[in-house]
Amino acid sequence: MTTQPLAETVNRLNELKRIKGEAYGGPNPKATEAQHAKGKLTARERIELLLDPGSFQEVEQLRRHRATGFGLEAKRPYTDGVITGWGKVEGRTVFVYAHDFRIFGGALGEAHATKIHKIMDMAITAGAPLVSLNDGAGARIQEGVSALAGYGGIFQRNTRASGVIPQISVMLGPCAGGAAYSPALTDFVFMVRETSQMFITGPDVVKAVTGEEITQNGLGGADVHAETSGVAHFAYADEETCLAEVRYLLSMLPQNNRELPPVVQSVDPADRSGHALLDLVPADGNRSYDMRKVVEEIVDEGDFMEIHAAWATNVICALARLNGQVVGIVANQPASMAGVLDINASEKAARFVQFCDSFNIPLVTLVDVPGFLPGVDQEHEGIIRRGAKLLYAYCNATVPRVSLILRKAYGGAYIVMDSRSIGADIALAWPTNEIAVMGAEGAANVVFRREISTATDPEAMRQQKIKEYKNELVHPYYAAERGLIDDVIDPRNTRQVLGRAVAMLAAKSTDLPSRKHGNPPQ
């Protein structure tokens, strides 16, 4: 009896897979050409860009659906329209699933969902990040409720993985209806301009119900979600840049909530002096400046990754490294709305603080805030409960927390921006700091209203009282004298002092009261 060589058997198996794949409606050259004609890569091309070369290990490549009716029994391609597996990003394990738009338009059916459920379970068990490359047409209509149940399983696993492993959604095509809720449950959403859209109800439904006419991109394109809705954290012009930035983000994140973020050897001197800071930040609290330039001057090599850069621009949230250690930076942005806190800024910062706390990333808060934004709309839309989200997030955070007041820190906004009173481990300030219930001008008008109104020269009296208030209550050392500030530092030493503080707190340990979970403001 002759034994068939193993190599020949493998070759025959691969040929059989190719023939069957084409016969049962698998991706063919025309489908690939159509994908490329739209400016889109195929699912496998995307995985190759995301992962280290040669590291991808596919799971359940031979799975096919078992549905019958509506012509499905004659079209049973391998993979069932989703590619699942794991690989490496900079040598660390990452799990991934990618919709293959060339098969059933990437629509989700029972077998398709089962594959995704499995890879999500594997990611949670292995304690490694999960990246979804989304390019699908929603639920597979021909499979009815089975497809809907598949989405339910994904949502349940998204929630179970939340705060346990990093979850990143990369939108590379359409995502409509209930399918859009999975990305919304993950930590970060990336989108590509012109080719990716997200919405619950599409333009046709919107027109039928409301009479409004709008394009897919106008309703749920990358810039809409990056600038208006806040659904997308990042938006890029092409898939290659987008996937490169996903790799960069993963390089700064721990594998799971039991690990610390990766530390690298920094070539930027820890004691580098920041002379430029003296010119970047005007001493006059009424003058604007770009806080991004301050962040650049402080962090390693001026390099940071801003989260939600185009949404709620009056606050900056960013990941960066300080002496090789990953830190999360929250900073008011005086160049946008004077750095005031409003509804969107509060929610943006709150979720970022929660993310950093979930994954052991120290927080550095740069404060220059004149208060919360006043207005009827803000009050009616819930600035109280939404601002409380940021307060809750900071109070609940157990990671190392260092705050620095550059200039203004007024009223409730000062408290909310990680003040000593809500648990900051180290609270610092520049000599230009003004910590008070409100600005000296407003305070003088309230406290000395009678003296000013009865004075022979009301304006001269007002200026005198403003000066008195500043000298007594708003001078740079008032808070330090009362232990609310640990030190008033030379701005040029900011990088050095912050780096030392974060390093000192590296082994911080906090015991919280036993509870199932908190009930944060909604």
Residue range 300-309: mean pLDDT, rounded: 97
- Kindly report the average pLDDT of the chain as a whole number: 89
Q: 103 φ, ψ to 5°?
A: -115, 115
This prediction has a pTM of 0.91
Lowest mean pLDDT across 222-231, 300-309, 503-512:
503-512
> Given this model, what pLDDT does residue 105 score?
66
Task: Choose between 476 and 167: higher pLDDT.
Answer: 167
Q: Tens digit of pLDDT for each residue in 30-39? A: 878 888 988 8
Residue 146: pLDDT band with limits 50, 70, 90: confident
Catalytic residues: 177-178, 412-413
Q: What is the pLDDT of residue 349?
A: 98
Res. 518 pLDDT band, cuts 50 70 90: confident
pLDDT in tens, 438-452: 777 777 777 778 887
pLDDT tens sequence across 310-348: 999 999 999 999 999 999 999 999 999 999 999 999 999
- Sheet with 57-59: list strands edge to edge: 57-59, 82-89, 92-99, 130-134, 167-171, 188-192, 234-236
Is residue 394 predicted with pLDDT exceeding 90? Answer: yes
118 pLDDT higher than 50: yes
Query: Residues 248-278, buried b or exposed e (16+ Cβ, 10 A)?
Result: ebbbbbbbbeeeebbeeebebeeeeebeebe
3-state secondary structure at position 282: coil
Q: How far is CA 330 from CA 75, 239, 403, 407, 511, in A?
A: 51, 28, 9, 15, 24
Q: Residue 23's pLDDT band (boundaries 50, 70, 90)?
A: very low
Query: Of 22-36, 243-257, 406-420, which gets the smallest average pLDDT?
Result: 22-36
The structure tokens 């993310």 sit at 355
CA distances from 318 to 234, 291, 361, 362 (A): 12, 12, 11, 12
Per-residue pLDDT at 12 exceeds 80 = no
Other beta carbons less than 10 A from residue 507's beta carbon: 7
